[in-house]
Amino acid sequence: MPNTSPRNGVDRAPGSVPAPLLLVTLALLTAACASSSHRTSVPPSSVSSTSSAATTTTSSVGTTTSSSLAPTTTSSVGTTTSGSAAATTTTTTFDLHEVDWNNVAVPGASCMRAGPIQLHNGQALLLDPVNGHPNVPGSNGPRYDRLELLSPVRYGPFERAGYDEALVSLYCNNNGGTASGALRYSIAVFSPGTGEPVSLGLITAQKQPRDVLPTLLSVRSIAPGTITVVEAWYGPRDLTCCPGGRAITTWTYRGGKLVPVATVITTMPSATAGG
């Protein structure tokens, strides 16, 4: 008679799976289900590529690139660049050729004053009770000095590449109406700003002997970084009409102000009266 007693004391039906094998199979199925539950399906159209320097997202409407230095956004209507470390800013530069120089503010030093002087129709009257003259000759009214704009205004590239600066010649006098009343000749230099002229400073005579009339100035040339000025200076025997000395002074813009570089005397005044 066949032996039907259970092995190892465990009953097992015909065709059944051994218990140890069943336990291993259940463990593998459980692990597979847990791994599958953490996966998320991502549509292809929203896939992103990310790095420490930039993030790029691509879709049907454009491309956007972000960076910690200079993010750039591109779309069908244009390109804009901005960033915390590098930004592109568009500004409008003022065209000095359009300025009405007869009605601008010029440096006060052009007529020995501390603050800016506002021109009106090309001139300004400045109170001077000591050396000035009445605005109406022979009257007892207030005494003035007069500052006048001399034509023409000169233009050329000097301090800003690609833009013209303006050189405005000025004449300060004691309002007496004669050549002997001249007090100072000067040249104001203006740079284009974003809405109005910006004063760079004032060119004054570098060859100015004592006890003679003020030296006349005229612009010889304007070039990037350099302005060359001719100085017509008086000797002690020169007539008021005719300064006999000549000098050439070169100016530049350094440290935020106009500075003379060198002055070269080209002609000495005559040693005899009247030249």
Count other C-beta atoms under 10 Å from residue 38's C-beta.
6
- What are the residue ranges of helices labelled H in 107-216? none
Using DSSP's 3-state secondary structure scheme, residue 69 falls into coil
Residue 275: pLDDT band (50, 70, 90) is low
Range in 69-78, 118-127, 153-162, 247-256 with the lowest mean pLDDT: 69-78
Dump pLDDT digits (tens) for 218-260: 999 999 999 999 999 999 999 999 999 999 999 999 999 999 9
The count of C-alpha atoms lying within 13 angstroms of the C-alpha of 133, restricted to the half-sphere facing its C-beta, is: 17
Q: Is the pLDDT of residue 78 over 50?
A: no
pLDDT of residue 155: 97
Q: Which two tokens stand for residue 179?
A: 């050549």
pLDDT of residue 250: 98
What is the residue-wise DSSP string for 188-203? EEEEE-SSSEEEEEEE
Q: Is the pLDDT of residue 271 over 80?
A: no
Mean pLDDT, the chain, whole residue set = 77
Range in 188-197, 198-207, 246-255 with the lowest mean pLDDT: 188-197
Residue 273: pLDDT band (50, 70, 90) is low
Q: Is the pLDDT of residue 196 over 80?
A: yes
Q: CA 197 → CA 185, 186, 218, distances in Å?
A: 21, 18, 21
Q: Is the pLDDT of residue 62 over 80?
A: no
The count of C-alpha atoms lying within 13 angstroms of the C-alpha of 92, restricted to the half-sphere facing its C-beta, is: 4
Smallest CA-to-CA distance from 128 within 172, 174, 171, 170 is with: 174
Higher pLDDT pick, 31 / 196? 196
Residue 139: pLDDT band (50, 70, 90) is confident
DSSP letter at 180 equals G
Q: Rounded to whole angstroms, how far apart are CA atoms 219 and 248?
A: 10
pLDDT of residue 83: 43
Smallest CA-to-CA distance from 60 within 70, 40, 77, 45 is with: 45
